[in-house]
Structure 1
Amino acid sequence: MEHIKTQAVCFGEVLWDIFPGEQKRIGGAPFNVAYHLSKMGLEVNMISSVGDDKPGHALLEKMKGWNIPTEHVQITTRYPTSTVIATVDENNDAHYEIVEDVAWDFIDATAKNKEILTTADAFVFGTLAARNEKSRNTLFQLLDIGSYNVFDINLREPYYEVGMIKDLLYKTHLAKFNKAEMRMMLDFLGKEYTTEEDGVKYLQDRFDLQEIIISKGSKGALYAHEDHLYRYPTIPVKIKDTVGSGDSFLAGFLSKKLDKQSFVHETMVQAVSLGAFITSQEGACPEYSQEDFSRFKNEHPVLALP
C-alpha cells in the first residue's frame, strides 16, 4: 500500500529578509516551519499572501523550486510583498524591522483554505500574522476548523496584544514558547515565576493546554504532555546564526509527533537535532537533504536529561 504523507498547514507571513551585505533570503516563521516539514518528507501547505509584484512572483518561484505548493498563497494587487530589514548582533541573534500593511496582513478566509483544514493533521500559526484585523479574523475562522492547532508564540514588539494571545491560546492544542516568552506570558497574567514546572502547569491549567514546549537555547528544551515533563539537552555546535533555529526545532518535533508510531523520545531527539543542525548552517532555510540531516543526527546522539 502506498504511504500517505502526513499533512500540515502553516498560516501567516512569507517574506524576504534583507540582511546587510547579503542577498535577500526567503523567511517568515511559519514559512520556515513549512520548509523544514517539507524537507522531513511531509506534505505541507502554506496559507499566506504576496503582492502581484516582482518580489512576490520570485517568492512563489522559490517555493515551487522547493516543491512547496503555492495554491493557497493568495496574490493581491492592493498590497506589496513583505520585506523585512534584518540585522545580526554580536551574539549571532537576529533583529527585524517589520514593515506593516503588506500582503500577509490581509489574508482572506476562502472556501479552499477552510477545506484543506478539514483534512490536515496540524495547523501551525504564530502571533505576528494576527497583528492586522483582516488576517486575524481569517486565522480565528481557521482555528475553529483545525483539529490540532499548534501555536508558535513569537512575541515581536509592538506587534502583539495580550488579550489576543490569550484568545489564541484558548484555541490551541500545542503551544511553543521560548523561556523568555513563557516568563513574559506569566507576567502578563499576573503569575509570579517560581519554577519551570510551576509555570508550565499554570499555563496548562489556565488555557486547558495538553501540550507545551519550552525552548531554552543552550539550556535545551522541555516538553510537557499532560502531567509528564520531558527534558532534553541542546546539541553543542558551532553557531553560524540563530535565524530560524526555533522554527526548525518545531518542524523537527512535528515531523515525528504527527507520525503516530513515534514515541516522545524519538520526537524530542528529532526536534533538538534539527534545531542544532540548522543553527550550524547559514540562514533559516539552508539547502540540505534528508541524508545530510541523518548524518548529523547519527553523529550527535541525544539522551534525555534526568
Structure 2
Amino acid sequence: MEYKKNKAICFGEVLWDIFPGEQKRVGGAPFNVAYHLSKMGVEVNMISSIGNDQLGRDLLDKMKNWNIPADHVQINTEYPTSTVVATVDENNDAHYDIVERVAWDFIETTLENREVIKTTDVFVFGTLAARNEKSRNTLFQLLEISNYNVFDINLREPYYEVGMIKDLLHKTHLAKFNKAEMRMMLDFLGKEYTTEEDGIQYLQDQFDLGEIIISKGSKGALYASDGNFYLYPTIPVTVKDTVGSGDSFLAGFLSKKLEKGSTVHEMMTQAVSLGAFITSQEGACPEYSLEDFIRFKNEYPVSALH
C-alpha cells in the first residue's frame, strides 16, 4: 500500500459540474483540494454531504476509485446531491450557476467529525459552504477545535456576507486570496489600496493572520509570513482551462508545508508547479500520477522573483 503522510481535512461542497456538451465532472473547491492533496501523498478526508440519489452514488464511486475516504461524507435524505451548471467564456474562464438548498448546505456536526478534526494537521474550508446556516454552524464548531485553519476565500456573489467573512478570518491561520478578492476585502474594511504589501500587512494586523497567499494569475503568486514577502512567477504553459487551478495551487503548497522542515521555496515551487500542471490539462481533477507531476516539475524549474 502506498505510504501516506500527514492528515488533512477539506470541508464543504462536493458536486457535479455540468459543462456544455460534456459529461459531468466532479467539482467543488474543497473537493478539488482534497483530490490533489491525495495525489501528492497526503492522507486526506472530506467532510461534506450528498443526496440519497444516483448522482450521490456516482460521487461515492469516484471517491472510492480515487482512494479518497468518504467516511465523513453524510447522506442526506431530504436534499439532493449538488449540481452546478458551468459555462466557459472566450478566455477559457468558467462561470457557475450554483443551485441552492442542496445536500452540502446541510452538513451536520457529528461526534465522528469532531473527533477526526482533533487529530488532523490542516483543516481547509472556503466561503461557499458557509452560505447556509446549517453548514455554517457546523463549520464554526469545527474551527473551534481544529489545529491549523486554511481559508480559501472564493467570493462568489451572492453567496457570501462580509460579517461572516470577517468572523471566519478571525479563526484562520493561512488565508488564500486572489488579487481581486484581496482588494474587495480591503474595500469592505474601508481601507484604501496603496500597495500589495501594505494591503497584506493591514489584513494580517486586522485578523491576526500569520500567513497570506495572493494568487495573481499570469503575474505569479505572493506568500507573506513574519513580515517577509515571497513572490514566485507563473510557469508558462499552454492553458487548456483554468478550472480548479487555484485549488491545485493550494494543494501543492499545503502538501509541502505538511512535510516537516520544508522551506518557503519548496512550498511555493510545489504550489506554482502543480497549479501550472493542472492548468495545462482539462478539468479540475484530471487523471495523473505523482510521477507525471514530478516529471513536469523537473522540466520547469522555478526561481523566486524577489
What TM-score do the two structures reach when normalised by structure 1? 0.99
SS at 1:63's partner residue? helix
RMSD between superposed Cα atoms in Å: 0.9
Q: Say yes or no: does 1:10 pair with 2:13.
A: no
Structure 1: gaps spanning 5 or more residues:
none
Distance 1:11 1:4 in 2: 20
Cα deviation for residue 27 of structure 1 reads 0.3
Q: How does 1:75-94 map to 2 (within 5 A)?
A: 75-94=75-94
Amino acid at match of 1:282: E
CA contact (8 A) 2:224 2:230 kept: yes
CA distance in 2: counterparts of 1:163 and 1:76, whole angstroms = 29
2:44/2:68 contact within 8 Å kept: yes
Q: Which residue of 1 aligns with 2:211?
A: 211
**Whole-Å separation in 2 of the counterparts to 1:170 and 1:226:** 17
User: CA shift at 1:261, angstroms?
Assistant: 1.8
Take 1:14 and 1:27, find their aligned partners in 2: how far apart are those partners?
6
What are the within-5 Å matches in structure 2 for residues 113-262 of structure 1?
Answer: 113-262=113-262
- In 1, are the aligned partners of 2:4 and 2:42 still within 8 Å (CA)? no
1:163-195 CA deviation, whole Å, 9 max, x = no partner? 000000000000000000000000000000110
- Structure 1's consecutive aligned runs of 4 or more residues displaced over 6 angstroms after TM superposition are none
CA distance, structure 2, for counterparts of residue 208 and residue 103 of structure 1? 33
Question: Could you tell me how far 1:226 is from its partner in structure 2?
Answer: 1.7
- What letter corresponds to residue 63 of structure 2 in structure 1? M
**Alpha-carbon distance in 2 for matches of 1:8, 1:100:** 27
Code of the residue aligned with 1:200 in structure 2: it is I
Give me the whole-angstrom Cα distance separating, in 2, the residues matched to 1:36 and 1:47.
16
Relative to the length of structure 2, the TM-score reads 0.99
Aligned-partner SS, 1:97: strand
- Aligned to 1:6, the other structure's residue is in SS state strand
Counterpart of 1:56 in structure 2: which amino acid?
Answer: G
Q: Secondary structure at the match of 2:16?
A: strand
Alpha-carbon displacement from aligned partner over 1:82-132 (angstroms, at most 9, x marks no partner):
000000100110000000000000000000000001110000000000000
Change (3 A) 1:63 1:3: closer
1:272 aligns to 2:280 (yes or no)? no
Aligned match of 1:19: 19
The residue number in structure 2 matching 1:283 is: 283
2:263 aligned with 1:263, yes or no?
yes
- Aligned residue-pair number: 305
**Kept after mapping to 1: 8 A contact 2:13/2:28:** yes
3-state SS of paired residue (1:175): strand
The answer to whether the 8 A contact 2:4-2:41 is kept is: no
Q: Does 1:64 align with 2:64?
A: yes
Tell me which residue corresponds to 1:98.
98
- Tell me the CA shift for residue 260 of structure 1: 1.5
Q: Percent same amino acid among aligned pairs? A: 81
